[in-house]
Structure 1
Amino acid sequence: MIRRVTVLLLAVTLVLGGAACSAPDDGQSTADALAKALSAHTVGGLSFDAPSDEVQKELTELSAGIDPVWPAVTVSGVEVSGETARVSLNYSWQLPHVDKPWSYATGADMKRNGNSWTITWSPEMVEPKLAAGDRLDISTLYGQRASILSADGEAIVKDRPVRTVGINKEGLTPDAVKSSAEALASLLDIDVAAYQAKAEAYGPVAFVDAITLREEAFQGLDQMKLKSIEGVLSTEGTLPLAPTRIFASAILGTVHEATAEDIEKSEGKVVAGQIVGSGGLQASLDSQLAGTPGVTVLAVKSPENSSSTASPTNDAGTSPTAVPAASKVLFQATPVNGQDVKTTLVPRLQNAAEEALASVKTPSSIVVMRPSSGAILASANGPDSNGYNTAFLGQYAPGSTFKIATSLGLFRLGMTPESTVNCSAEYTADGKKFLNAPGYAAEATGEVPLTTAVAHSCNTAFVSQFEKLAQEQLADAAGALGIGMSNDLGLEAFTGVVPRDSAGTEHAASMIGQGKILVSPLAMTTLMSAVVKGSAVVPVLVEGRDGNVEAAAGAALTQKEAEGLRTLMRAVVTDGYLNNLADLPGAPAIGKTGTAEYGSDTPPRTHSWVIAAQGDIAVAVFVEDGDLGAITGGPLAKTILAAAAG
């Protein structure tokens, strides 16, 4: 789709008049003054054969349409022949979106007038191909905005039909405009007062856009009510869109026509009419998707000399070299189409994750990853995340899912899955009493293997090790599993933080994923993937962007350590709270539940977590305000693992 944004430059034959010249013998000083005046857009101090105020008016009109773009003009020579002289001028335009200047030579004629020179302005002084009645038309051309692709190379984001709905003010009275704006805004559920003010501010025959909708959303409006609104109008168009409004919206972002704010912030890189990305990959990779704009400079007959239109906006598919009738191309830099962005997303799994979260009435997310490659196969946020990328940016205590990192730290002190730990009803660490979750299984208390403590998520068994496992060792273990690792996803992401200086009660709480430990759902999917792979996993969202990763402090995860962690997590499925995953067909499922307390309520509110894996699929489920992880997240995790296997 080619998009053109046009500004007009009036080039007319000027007859100019004015001031004395300091070098009547060769005309050089007048020529230099002319070049300087042309570069500065002011000619009041020169001598022309017309009133200088008229000349200045013409020059101001000529330059206004492309301000601040205007050429630098220099003199390359002056040839005197009797009472006349020919000045050779060099023009150099630094056009927007063009690296090299548009340069050419032209000239101006002068006549001796006693001891001075009088300059005659003709269109050729501006550009040698200009004729009387021509004007310059400078257009920015936009190539095809590229698509965002799925893992299989199919376009996720591509041009899809839209309708722009608004009020056509032509023929409407002010009262009718106000009434129609109110009715339309109410029907569309947008701010009534704001739209009425917008409608009032627009010109008397303007189309006042209210909203742009997907075609299916437009058809879902009450068409009878819509048609009953006086002056209502809808126009058809296309925009690069995902399959649905919610499909990976926080990942993909959206596009829109540049606003005044976009243009101001761009420092000249964005112009009116340009399609720009907003949020997600559409914004972060906007330059790749948009490509490089081009520029065309035309000599076009002015309206009073030609019935042809000045510079119509191109329809999608129109060649960027197409020009209006009766026009001459003076300069062209062809636009370069954008380059597709290939993601690792699998639409089938993305849809499954979004459907699983559709009824969750609190911020939530599901992230699915392929441990062998780090590819993010799906990243969904529930409707109550309200557009926020909970999956990537959420910062929450991981609760008992973090016991996997703690277990790695204990392995490094010499423990194994069979090592005995004490799971007491309560444990006091540095004056703070820690308890197990309500309803904790009595048969899993006392002296039990570490495997049992993980399977039943015994808090006291882990807190009781806080004097043996230092906070720095705990932080190193988490880092070996990818917590806090840098990344180059193409989007901002929070990968977690484990303070290295927590002490006393705070350190004890860190053993069970509380204290000041914070992670995102993406971070916990990465941790789960590391356990499956046997080494730290670098998340990948966009093909080719997996560099700029800073290794975590401390020793790297070993295959033996990962095997021990998988043993612990398999017990959670066979003997613990994730037994609903035991009947999944295929490779044995592993996982860990988590419940993290937050807030000041009594009893405290809880975040619900589940991390799980089967084969080469890892998943993290997070619900901000939920029940025990197994109750809230367990069914969601099973749904996703089943979908991945299907």
Structure 2
Amino acid sequence: MLRRAAGLLFVLALVLAGAACSSPKDDGTGTAKALAVALAAHTVGALAFDQPAAAVQRELTELSRGIDPVWPKVTVDGVAVKDDGTARISLGYSWTLPNVAKPWTYTTGADMKRNGDGWTISWAPDMLVPRLEAGERLKISTSYPHRAGILAADGQSIVKDRPVETLGINKDGLSEAVAAASAKALAAVVVVDPAAYLAKVKAYGPVAFVDAITLRQEAYDALDQAKLKDIKGFLATPGTLPLAPSRTFAQAVLGSVHEATAEDIKKSDGKVSAGQVVGGSGLQASFDNQLAGTPGVTIEAVAGTAATPAPGATAPSATEAAAPSADATTSAKILFTQAPVDGKDVKTTLVPKLQTAAEDALADVKTPSSIVIMRPSTGAILAAANGPDSNGYNTAFLGQYAPGSTFKIATSLGLFREGMTPQSTLSCTPEYTADGKKFLNAPGYAVDAEGQIPMTVAIAHSCNTAFVSQYKNLAQDKLADAAGALGIGMTSDLGLDAFMGVVPRDSAGTAHAASMIGQGKVLVSPLAMATLMSSAVKGAEVVPVLVAGRDAKAKPAEGPAVTAKEAEGLRTLMRASVTEGYLTNLADLPGAPAIGKTGTAEYGTDNPPRTHSWVIAAQGDIAVAVFVEDGDLGAITGGPLAKAALEAAAGN
């Protein structure tokens, strides 16, 4: 008896325990939350619908496929349960769309009916997007705005849409062998990597057009048209691209554009789509967002698969579901749209006439080279030309070279601050030994300019020993301060990367002595030296400007600013270079008196060493810096280039 009673008590305990552990009756909230999760993941899961789960899943999959990878976040905003055992779920949607600043948000609703302790959801497409009907599918499309141009200082377009031809092979109707032969032939005519292009042709489908190269119209017209015509499957398709007047015009500054690659699209985090033109380098890249504008985005409900099966009906196969409905409407229903916003022009300070003249002057220079022309009163960069042997590199802005004797202008400022004037005498000897290192003057230095000479003569004839001999009288940090007062070492946001020079503050001994004549560890760019000259002309530190109206957020280098009196003394020194020194070729220029300074900087390990050739010059409100990486003395190589630049700038 006792054993039987104990068994009954144990069974009762199990029953009570089971009742205590069972889930409470769902008040609708649990099912609503599960529905939000399912819709956000476009996966039905274990939810109960009034249609077969496979049919609902197919519908969700097809809807998401048409808009992938975009898909919304879904939340439950509320559940209203009625006395008749039905309930209405309020769902909140938030879509993060490419190139749309604010999320697209809205609310929808879903109905469900009590089913025992759970709920059965009534499937309807409009629970996903209002007005979405059975058989419709979502489609996202992008409309591209007009890409803006890059303008010259006068507001005229430098970069604008110009005609191009895209050349390639149309594989339609060609055997693999013929397509391969055509690829090799085309690669030879347009000079592209034959192996790479052949691999590209083989990888494309049997009826694809496989592009090889896009050329300016004039470059295409210059090709051997007869050879192109003989290539089976050859096709040239016309189009336009935003381009400069010529292939080389300010190439490193303006940059290039191209159709977005897979890498571009991946890096953009959804901001760039296939087919979009993007900046690849130069101003086209650094101002890409401004130039490109904002693409338009449209989400539509379009005729797609057959209508969702009625409750209890057999779900269609995947093939049937993907087939268009015979009675589907062809008109699209716009659910969301944002119009494209055209890009905004980037106005530069460049003067095309001067840019072209500077590039023409460098056309025959067989080593990296540059000419920078600036307006000292405003800092505007009027031209930034790089020679053909710079091979697309922006030598003007990014080159890092010893400035040689052009740096003696900064050294002279430092000596002014130690009490000297343009008339102060310096000792110019054939050689001078500083901390065990022997310094010499340039080969062919005029003997009649040796001895105790005024600083004007020392600058005019560029006596190295006269300036090196003062290294103990001008501390390295004060030399760096003087260079900084003329713009060397400043930091500013030009809109493109630029090296504004460096003068170490801790150089000592031989390195300090070498710094006095722009050697040692002193490094500058042509832009930095044009800035130095501009600052001497203006009598205040000049901040270079490339993009009109741009705040460069400039920060000067350490040290006191240059004064008007100091700058006047520097101009006096540089006028002597023209009247009695190495730049007499500038003396006959009409207009305001020209000033300047030559420079020759040794580099490398050759014996005799190779030399950089420099000239800085100015006339009126024009300052010029000329650089040739592997040249003769500054006056010989750089002098004629500086004169050509100043002549071109006359009246500008």
TM-score (norm 2): 0.90
Counterpart of 2:253? 251
Instruction: Return the match for 1:374 from 371, 379, 389.
Output: 379
Q: Which digits, 9 at most, give the CA deviation of each residue in 1:547-577, with x for residues without a partner?
A: 4111222221111111111111111111111
Shift of 1:239: 1.3
Counterpart of 2:97? 95
Identity over the aligned pairs, expressed in percent? 73
Aligned pairs (5 A) from 1:177-576? 177-302=179-304, 305=324, 326-576=331-581
Q: Label 1:581 to 1:160 Cα distance change in 2 as closer, same or farther (>3 A).
A: same
Counterpart of 1:55? 56
- 8 Å CA contact 2:86, 2:114 repeated in 1: yes
> How many angstroms apart in 2 are the aligned matches of 1:591 and 1:504?
29
- 8 Å CA contact 2:67, 2:138 repeated in 1: no
- 8 Å CA contact 1:308, 1:326 repeated in 2: no
Choose 423-432 or 295-304, whichever is displaced more. 295-304
Unaligned runs of 5+ residues in structure 2 are: 1-22, 306-322
Shift of 1:73: 2.3
> How many angstroms apart in 1 are the aligned matches of 2:28 and 2:513?
90
Q: Label 1:217 to 1:196 Cα distance change in 2 as closer, same or farther (>3 A).
A: same
Counterpart of 1:602? 607
Q: Label 1:24 to 1:501 Cα distance change in 2 as closer, same or farther (>3 A).
A: closer
Choose 464-473 or 591-600, whichever is displaced more. 464-473
> How many angstroms apart in 2 are the aligned matches of 1:560 and 1:117?
90
Counterpart of 2:617? 612
> How many angstroms apart in 1 are the aligned matches of 2:561 and 2:30?
76
Choose 258-267 or 373-382, whichever is displaced more. 258-267
Choose 227-236 or 75-84, whichever is displaced more. 75-84
Q: Which digits, 9 at most, give the CA deviation of each residue in 1:571-630, with x for residues without a partner?
A: 111111111111111011000000000000011000000000000000000000001111
Q: Which digits, 9 at most, give the CA deviation of each residue in 1:347-394, with x for residues without a partner?
A: 000000111111111000000000000000000101111111000000
> How many angstroms apart in 2 are the aligned matches of 1:96 and 1:34?
26
> How many angstroms apart in 1 are the aligned matches of 2:383 and 2:259?
28
Shift of 1:235: 1.4
- 8 Å CA contact 2:530, 2:623 repeated in 1: yes
> How many angstroms apart in 2 are the aligned matches of 1:409 and 1:245?
44
Choose 240-249 or 548-557, whichever is displaced more. 548-557
Choose 191-200 or 141-150, whichever is displaced more. 141-150
Counterpart of 2:67? 66
Q: Secondary structure at the match of 2:412?
A: helix
- 8 Å CA contact 1:253, 1:283 repeated in 2: yes
Q: Secondary structure at the match of 1:571?
A: helix
Shift of 1:68: 3.6
Q: Which digits, 9 at most, give the CA deviation of each residue in 1:108-146, with x for residues without a partner?
A: 344555665433433323222223332211123332221
> How many angstroms apart in 2 are the aligned matches of 1:241 and 1:309?
45
Report the AA paired with residue 70 of structure 1: W
Q: Secondary structure at the match of 1:376?
A: strand
Counterpart of 1:35? 36
Report the AA paired with residue 158 of structure 1: K
- 8 Å CA contact 2:64, 2:138 repeated in 1: no
> How many angstroms apart in 2 are the aligned matches of 1:23 and 1:123?
30
Q: Secondary structure at the match of 1:366?
A: strand
Instruction: Return the match for 2:632 from 627, 631, 634.
Output: 627
Counterpart of 2:6? none
Q: Label 1:114 to 1:539 Cα distance change in 2 as closer, same or farther (>3 A).
A: same
Q: Label 1:288 to 1:396 Cα distance change in 2 as closer, same or farther (>3 A).
A: same
Choose 158-167 or 122-131, whichever is displaced more. 122-131
Q: Secondary structure at the match of 1:379?
A: strand
Q: Label 1:32 to 1:309 Cα distance change in 2 as closer, same or farther (>3 A).
A: closer
- 8 Å CA contact 2:113, 2:119 repeated in 1: yes
Choose 74-83 or 350-359, whichever is displaced more. 74-83
Report the AA paired with residue 293 of structure 1: P
Q: Secondary structure at the match of 1:475?
A: helix
- 8 Å CA contact 2:67, 2:139 repeated in 1: no
Report the AA paired with residue 446 of structure 1: G
Shift of 1:55: 3.4
> How many angstroms apart in 1 are the aligned matches of 2:325 and 2:35?
31
Choose 331-340 or 113-122, whichever is displaced more. 113-122
- 8 Å CA contact 1:528, 1:613 repeated in 2: yes
Shift of 1:271: 2.3
Q: Secondary structure at the match of 1:287?
A: helix
Aligned pairs (5 A) from 1:578-589? 578-589=583-594
- 8 Å CA contact 1:186, 1:192 repeated in 2: yes
> How many angstroms apart in 2 are the aligned matches of 1:225 and 1:491?
42
Q: Label 1:205 to 1:484 Cα distance change in 2 as closer, same or farther (>3 A).
A: same
Unaligned runs of 5+ residues in structure 1 are: 1-21, 311-324
> How many angstroms apart in 1 are the aligned matches of 2:301 and 2:59?
17
Counterpart of 1:12? none
- 8 Å CA contact 1:425, 1:436 repeated in 2: yes
Report the AA paired with residue 402 of structure 1: F
Shift of 1:405: 0.8
Whether 1:637 aligns to 2:648 is no
Q: Secondary structure at the match of 1:351?
A: helix
> How many angstroms apart in 2 are the aligned matches of 1:593 and 1:309?
80
Counterpart of 2:7? none
- 8 Å CA contact 1:24, 1:117 repeated in 2: no
> How many angstroms apart in 2 are the aligned matches of 1:625 and 1:566?
28
> How many angstroms apart in 2 are the aligned matches of 1:403 and 1:243?
39
Shift of 1:439: 0.9
Q: Label 1:245 to 1:378 Cα distance change in 2 as closer, same or farther (>3 A).
A: same
- 8 Å CA contact 1:393, 1:494 repeated in 2: yes
Shift of 1:84: 5.6
TM-score (norm 1): 0.91
Structure exhibiting the larger radius of gyration computed from Cα positions: 2
Q: Secondary structure at the match of 2:400?
A: coil
- 8 Å CA contact 1:392, 1:493 repeated in 2: yes
> How many angstroms apart in 2 are the aligned matches of 1:381 and 1:24?
79
Q: Secondary structure at the match of 2:173?
A: coil
Report the AA paired with residue 267 of structure 1: D
Shift of 1:31: 3.2
Aligned pairs (5 A) from 1:168-179? 168-179=170-181
